[in-house]
Structures are given as C-alpha cells and as structure tokens.
Amino acid sequence: MSDVGNKRHHVTYWVGVWGTVMLALILASITFDFWGRWICWFITFILILTFIVPEGLEELRSGISSKSVRFVRMFLSMLFFAAFIVNYRLPAPINCRSEIMPTRYAIGAGIGGVRFLPEWTDFRAEIENPTDQDYEDAEFTISSDMEINGIGQISSIPEVRFVGQPYRGEFIQRDKEGNVIQAVPAYVPTFESKVRLHVFPKKSTLELVLALSRSNPVVNGKSPEHQYADHKRPCWVKLRGSYSAWKRTRTFEEQLDQFDLPIEKEYQAAAVYDELACSEGTIMLKVREIVNGVLNTVIIDNAGKRFVFDPVSRNVLFRAQLEGRSIFLTQSFSDTKEGRHVLVITWSPSGARLGVDGVVKEDWNNDDLAFYGP
C-alpha cells in the first residue's frame, strides 16, 4: 500500500474512533445540567483540537504548516468560548409584584383554597416568567414577619405544590342536638412556605394569595379580648427562589414591601403609622400637595421614626433613631403634574434611604451621606 493510502487509512481510523467518542459525549450531555453539559462539550472540543484539526488538515493538503494548524485552533477556541459566554449570559429574569387587598372577608370565606377570618390580611404576590423559555425545577420560598395562615394559587398553572403549608382544621360549634351551627377555620401558622413547580411555563404568571395575621399580645398574663389585630400590614414579605433556565440554575431574592399608599385618607395614614413600628421596611407613597382645596401636610411619628411631608416649605423629612445613632434625611421637591409626588422610604438597623420623585438621599452604616438622582 502506498504512503498516501496508509496516511489516509490512518486519518480515517482516528477520525472515526475519536468522532465516535465525541458523538457519545455530545449525546450524553443532553441530559446534564449547564456545567455538566459544557464539561462534556469542552472535552469534545479538546479532542477536536488535538486530533481532528491536524489530521483533517493533513488529509486536505499534505505538508501543511504548523502555523496554519495553530491559526485554526485559535479561531475555533475563540468560537467555543464566545458560544459559552453567550449561553451563560442568556437572560432568564423573574418579575415579582405584590399587593395588599382591602377586602374584609366573612368567617371561613375562601379564595384560592385559603379560608379567611375577618381580621386577616389578604396579601397577593405575583411571580412572572416573561420569557419564551420554560423554566424547570422552580422553587420559591415566601416568608414574612407576620403569621402565614394559608397560601394558595389563584392563577391556573398546573402542578403547583405547596410545602410547609399551615395545618388547617376547624373549630366547630354545635347546638344541643349536635348540629353544626358554626365552623371557624383554625390554623397552625408558619412564617415561611415553599412553592414548587416542575415546569414554570413561558410567558405565565403565578398568582399567590396569602392569609397573614398578627396576634394580639398577652398583657399581664391576661389574654386579649380579640386574638388577632385587625388587618395589620406586614413589615416585610421576602421572596427567594431558584429555577433552571437554559440548563443553568438561577437564584434570586427580593423583598416585596413597596406598597402603594397614597396618604389622602385616615386609614392610609394609619397604615404608614403601623409600618413605621417595624425595625426594617420600605414604604412607597404617592402624596398630593393639595387635597380638597387644602394643603396636605402629613406628619406621622411612631417607634422613634418621624415622617413629614410639608407642602408649605416644599420639603420631605425622615428621621429615625436606629441602633446607636440617629439618621436625619431631608429633601426638597419641585412642581409636578397634578401636584402629586412619589416618595420611597427604606430603613433598617444599618441605615435609611429617602427618595423623592426619583432623587435619592441615603445614609448607611455611618458612611457619608450619599445623594444621587436625575
């Protein structure tokens, strides 16, 4: 057999052997997660650079220079790593929204499989997959400083499972004949619950309803007249989770506490008053300068915190007594359409932030006062 024939036989043999190995790696990688898949592909790529490229080029043209082999290897390496970066950075966002419903339910009224008492707070959370890609193995954990007495789904996504859902029963009152005259839902509350979906469908929104409550404290050993405080707002509701998109596990954490509270009615001001009692929180306010023809001056004090909206001096003030120090943030505002202003106040034991119409001042961890905005 001629030297050319021997060389071609040699090339065909090794290309066939390593081609089979590489094909096996590629097929196996389909079932792996992101990193397992790319490890298989990386091994395959190294085999291509090591055997297929030089042997293939030798088959195409005898005596090809090593410089050309290096050029082809470098070009393929750039393509491989570009493909990795693009695949790694493929966006897979989660959008979250929340709302507190003002509805007061009758005893035992149900929505989304959750039964309410009149004093409990109806909290809604929405988790959206806005992409054209299904997410897999999604698990979301929702927690609050208030007791979670029930959680359910009011959307129609299939195969949604709740883990750590509060135990549910009933207090049953019967007459002398044994007939049920009243059945009151009874729960063993929790402060955290998990939601699991094997598949989170593309362009879908998981809508959750939570029954939140805050028990009235025992005073001097005496039980309160009413077990639950009436329609309290949570200081915080946190959502964290993980899910797989494009075979890569993503994680996120978000605090669902920017509640829309336009202070124009007494009950809304009371909600802010309650919120200021929290050690940490965020309040989003939409405040008008004039309500019913009168300047709308708002002053709310609670738990060492003070919020002032002053349309006369055109200033917003937030003062808080935190652990070991005081924080004082003040900011002026300009004219806006319809005289309405958007305020965002955030605080925690480490500092505070005051935003007025997109302009922000903040003071965290004894750092210098920061100011930024449009």
pLDDT in tens, 8-65: 445 555 555 555 665 665 666 566 666 666 676 677 767 666 655 555 555 444 555 5
The band of 68, judged by pLDDT with boundaries at 50, 70 and 90, is low
DSSP, collapsed to helix, strand or coil, labels residue 358 as coil
Sign of CA dihedral 234, 236, 239, 240: negative
Type of residue found at 147: E
- The pLDDT score that the predictor gives to residue 126 is 94
Range with the lowest mean pLDDT among 57-66, 159-168, 356-365?
Answer: 57-66
Q: Could you tell me the pTM of the whole model?
A: 0.62
In the 8-state DSSP scheme, what is residue 51? I
Q: Residue 338 corresponds to which tokens in the numbers above? A: 């319809």
Break the chain down into helix, strand, coil percent, rounded to 5. 25, 45, 30
